[in-house]
Structure 1
Amino acid sequence: MSINLKSPVFAGNPITSKTPKSTDLFSPTQAFEALKNLSLGQNLISLTFKILPFRKGKPLAGSSGDLVKKWHLGWLNFDDLKDVLDGSEVSLSEDLFVYLGHENESVVYWGIDVSLGGESLVEKFGVRQLCFVQLTTLMVATDWADDNAMGQLAIAGHARSLLEWHSTSRFCGSCGEKLIPIEAGRRKQCISESCKKRIYPRVDPVVIMLVIDKENDRALLSKQSKFVPRMWSCLSGFLEPGESLEEAVRRETWEETGIEVGEVVYHSSQPWPVGPSSMPCQLMIGFLAYASSLEINVDKKELEDAEWHSREDVKKALTFTEYEKAQKTAAWKVDQICKGVEKGQNVAADFSVESGELVPLFVPGPFAIAHHLISSWAHQVVGNTSQARYTRL
């Protein structure tokens, strides 16, 4: 079987495909003015506002009760959100909202951080069969062949990146004064009259590479202590100042495994909004890197292990049974949390699901660019930034 992805997971956001002009009704400025009027009880234009609350980096979500990878984001209209927040620690200020985009002729989307609301707020949402779920859980539970679900996941990822950026970017790096949101939360500005520095959301570039031994038809896979048992993946690392992407690939490979790399070939990229809150907006930039040396010397501070694996072993590692079971497990968790069955459980943990016949190793699922780097080499599929064909075993 195979699956066609129009774009990588977390890319292909259906409501941010075009940057609106300042004169557009749906521009951030115009939409924000309409939101302010609505908060004052003045609905001057016929717009529908759909608002997605987040708490501690988790989007509000719900379950349809169908445990075959079905979930939905917990969008609320303004009145419903106001009703839920009434009496809570969160004051409904327009400065809390971030503009996410628009759809058709009348719908504007917003994100809002309600982390200050406490457990009482969680209970109020629970009455509506809605719960705050880790984005990684929704990522695993998503049916990647469902374009609508993929779009909703991309919207949630974009919203999380913006809201976490607001949470961590509170003060001006030039003068130390407070930063305030502007342009409907898409920018921030220093309050000091003598400074007024504008701050823009930044993307942290991460190189991720599959290192290949051409002569012996092998690929280098590594594992970290935080990985679930039997899971191996690609090497990766952050770009350093003054460094090209190719140089970063070679440096990280050398530092972590002692392998020297020659040719470096770009494959594809993927937004990654599920990193730590200190780095909420990462861009994974994928490469195929060809080794010019073969002896491995693992840096144990960075990796638990690294090994060469044959093409046949890597093909076996792409066993889709494990991913399908993980999808069902994650969907079940969303359903249980929304019913209050697993209230308080840490759902950030990886799902160590087992298939009937265990493969010696497996790699991250199709939600991760590492899967597609590995799959493209194992099945000789050429990477494509617009659409790529990936193989299910």
Structure 2
Amino acid sequence: MSAHFQVHSFAGNPLRTHNSKPDDPSSALQTLKNLILEDTHAPNLKVLPFRKGRPLASSSVSAAGSTPVWHLGWISLVDCKDFLMKSGIILGEDSLVYLGSDGISYWAIDVSAAGDDMFGNERSFCFVELRTLMVATDWAHSQTMTDLAIAGHARALLEWHSISRFCGCCGERMLPIDAGRRKQCVNEMCKKKIYPRVDPVVIMLVIDKANDRALLSRQSRFVPRMWSCLAGFIEPGESLEEAVRRETWEETGIEVGEVIYHSSQPWPVGPSSMPCQLMVGFFAYAKSFEIHVDKEELEDAQWHSREDVKKALTFAEYEKAQRTAAVKVDQMCKGVEKGQNFSSDFNVESGELAPMFIPGPFAIAHHLISSWVNQAVPDDTESPSQGSSSTSNL
């Protein structure tokens, strides 16, 4: 069955929506500068270290036999300074990026240049891949969903800083300003300013309404038996609806008419060269039905009946995969990491492998597909052949 929650994974970050005065980056930066110069404890300031895109995390078990729950590994500014000094790194205000405030000021820092893989001598903390934390997150656990959104925002900002070190106009260094929320060229003759940018990606469930089936595809990088929606990047001078139609035609030879908006999701777990992706989800009604797969883009694409897709949703044991990932995080934090193939957790009730499964509820593709399976899809407002603009179903 599909998991349901009010926001997608990586969305709903409360630090981005808080409107109190301490959320002002300028005042937060000035406070940070003062604290760095001093060596005093700052209870209203927390730092989240990252190593090579992985946030510091810990794990805990609330009761015997229960699934472990991961937490972000927030540390104090003093602990951060001590750790970096032991590694021969001087902490400055340009080392940290501001995440926001809820009465406590939250910052993130990239400590990839530091030495030991564990943070200090604490064996209860470790740096964990964000994708692993994504799978390990209990979708009904609001605090963990919040932590995932904060970690996603922080990773996107830090990765953007990492790939934006030099000015695209003159080639000089770019330095962080405005508490790390933008960068400026050091060249006095240039002084170009840049801001984090989002790479929009359309993701669409193509529907054959007359035959009650949906078009799903596989890429070569997918784990065995996983099928998902088509997706692609926006090209310059192109609308979202045009991108949906073009990508569908280029990858499968299917012509699309009506395009209907579903929802959007931040996606900070893509490649580091594109750290700030936004997945924009649509339903798209097919006007043609013969598939011609572009083998350079896809491994395969097929029409699947509603009943077959519904079985895939039923058989895929998403909760088991979540528990397995949560235990893996717990083992990593205890220094007992073990390899785990998550695709092996998607089995039918008989214990045999399911013929197919779709991405878990952490992905917008899951919600597009499950909405269609459960018939929570608006009818196309016009004949698909007319190909009008997008209509929201929210």
Please indicate, yes or no, whether the TM-score normalized by the shorter chain is above 0.5: yes
Preserved CA contact (<8 Å) 1:95 1:185:
yes
Match of 1:317 in 2: 312
Deviation at 1:84, TM superposition (A): 2.4
Q: Which whole-Å CA distance do the structure 1 matches of 2:370 and 2:328 have between them?
A: 28
- Partner SS for 2:14: coil
Deviations 1:269-306 (A, max 9, x none): 00000001100000000000011110001111111100
Match of 1:10 in 2: 10
Preserved CA contact (<8 Å) 2:215 2:302:
yes
Which consecutive residues of structure 1, in runs of 5 or more, have no partner in the other structure?
Answer: 389-393
Over 3 Å counting, the alpha-carbon distance change for 1:286 and 1:268 in structure 2 is same
Preserved CA contact (<8 Å) 1:273 1:282:
yes
Deviation at 1:88, TM superposition (A): 0.5
Preserved CA contact (<8 Å) 2:18 2:101:
no
Deviation at 1:216, TM superposition (A): 0.5
Over 3 Å counting, the alpha-carbon distance change for 1:357 and 1:376 in structure 2 is same
Map of 1:36-51 to 2, 5 A cutoff?
36-41=33-38, 48-51=44-47
Deviations 1:103-159 (A, max 9, x none): 1x3x100000001013x2x23445241000000000001011111111110000000
Preserved CA contact (<8 Å) 1:69 1:327:
no
Preserved CA contact (<8 Å) 2:73 2:125:
yes
Q: Which whole-Å CA distance do the structure 2 matches of 1:192 and 1:272 have between them?
A: 33
Determine whether 1:94 maps to 2:110.
no
Match of 2:172 in 1: 177
Over 3 Å counting, the alpha-carbon distance change for 1:149 and 1:243 in structure 2 is same
Identity %: 67
Match of 1:64 in 2: 60
Q: Match of 2:37, as an amino acid?
A: L
Which consecutive residues of structure 2, in runs of 5 or more, have no partner in the other structure?
Answer: 379-390
Preserved CA contact (<8 Å) 1:318 1:375:
yes
Q: CA RMSD in A?
A: 2.3
Match of 1:391 in 2: none
Over 3 Å counting, the alpha-carbon distance change for 1:173 and 1:126 in structure 2 is same
Match of 1:75 in 2: 74
Deviations 1:45-79 (A, max 9, x none): x7611110000000000111466151100000112
Q: Match of 1:359, as an amino acid?
A: A
Preserved CA contact (<8 Å) 2:40 2:78:
no
Q: Match of 2:302, as an amino acid?
A: E
- Partner SS for 1:284: strand
- Partner SS for 1:144: coil
Q: Which whole-Å CA distance do the structure 2 matches of 1:387 and 1:333 have between them?
A: 38
- Partner SS for 2:113: helix
Deviations 1:355-389 (A, max 9, x none): 32432111000000000000011101248x9998x
Preserved CA contact (<8 Å) 2:119 2:126:
no
How many residues are aligned here?
376
Match of 1:52 in 2: 48
Q: Which whole-Å CA distance do the structure 1 matches of 2:32 and 2:147 have between them?
A: 22
Determine whether 1:353 maps to 2:345.
yes
Match of 1:113 in 2: 110
Preserved CA contact (<8 Å) 1:126 1:338:
no
Deviation at 1:171, TM superposition (A): 0.9
Preserved CA contact (<8 Å) 2:262 2:392:
no
- Partner SS for 2:31: helix
Determine whether 1:27 maps to 2:24.
yes
Q: Match of 2:180, as an amino acid?
A: G
- Partner SS for 2:262: strand
Q: Match of 1:31, as an amino acid?
A: A
Deviation at 1:89, TM superposition (A): 4.1
Preserved CA contact (<8 Å) 1:126 1:340:
no
Map of 1:203-218 to 2, 5 A cutoff?
203-218=198-213
Deviation at 1:25, TM superposition (A): 3.6
Match of 2:156 in 1: 161
Over 3 Å counting, the alpha-carbon distance change for 1:87 and 1:173 in structure 2 is same
Determine whether 1:187 maps to 2:186.
no
Determine whether 1:341 maps to 2:340.
no
Preserved CA contact (<8 Å) 1:5 1:387:
no
Over 3 Å counting, the alpha-carbon distance change for 1:7 and 1:320 in structure 2 is farther
Over 3 Å counting, the alpha-carbon distance change for 1:126 and 1:369 in structure 2 is farther
Q: Which whole-Å CA distance do the structure 2 matches of 1:242 and 1:332 have between them?
A: 46
Please give the TM-score of this superposition, normalised by the length of structure 1: 0.90
Q: Which whole-Å CA distance do the structure 2 matches of 1:352 and 1:184 have between them?
A: 44
- Partner SS for 1:38: helix
Of 363, 369, 376, which aligns to 1:374? 369
Q: Match of 1:53, as an amino acid?
A: P
Q: Match of 2:58, as an amino acid?
A: G
Q: Which whole-Å CA distance do the structure 1 matches of 2:392 and 2:237 have between them?
A: 29
Q: Match of 2:17, as an amino acid?
A: S
Preserved CA contact (<8 Å) 1:126 1:339:
no
- Partner SS for 1:206: strand
Q: Which whole-Å CA distance do the structure 1 matches of 2:214 and 2:346 have between them?
A: 24
**Which deviates more from structure 2 when the two are superposed, residues 55-64 or residues 127-136?**
127-136
Preserved CA contact (<8 Å) 2:28 2:105:
yes
Q: Match of 2:51, as an amino acid?
A: R
Q: Which whole-Å CA distance do the structure 1 matches of 2:121 and 2:342 have between them?
A: 24
Q: Which whole-Å CA distance do the structure 2 matches of 1:248 and 1:184 have between them?
A: 35
Q: Match of 1:209, as an amino acid?
A: M
Deviation at 1:5, TM superposition (A): 1.3
- Partner SS for 1:219: strand
Over 3 Å counting, the alpha-carbon distance change for 1:195 and 1:47 in structure 2 is farther
Preserved CA contact (<8 Å) 1:69 1:143:
no
Preserved CA contact (<8 Å) 2:59 2:68:
no
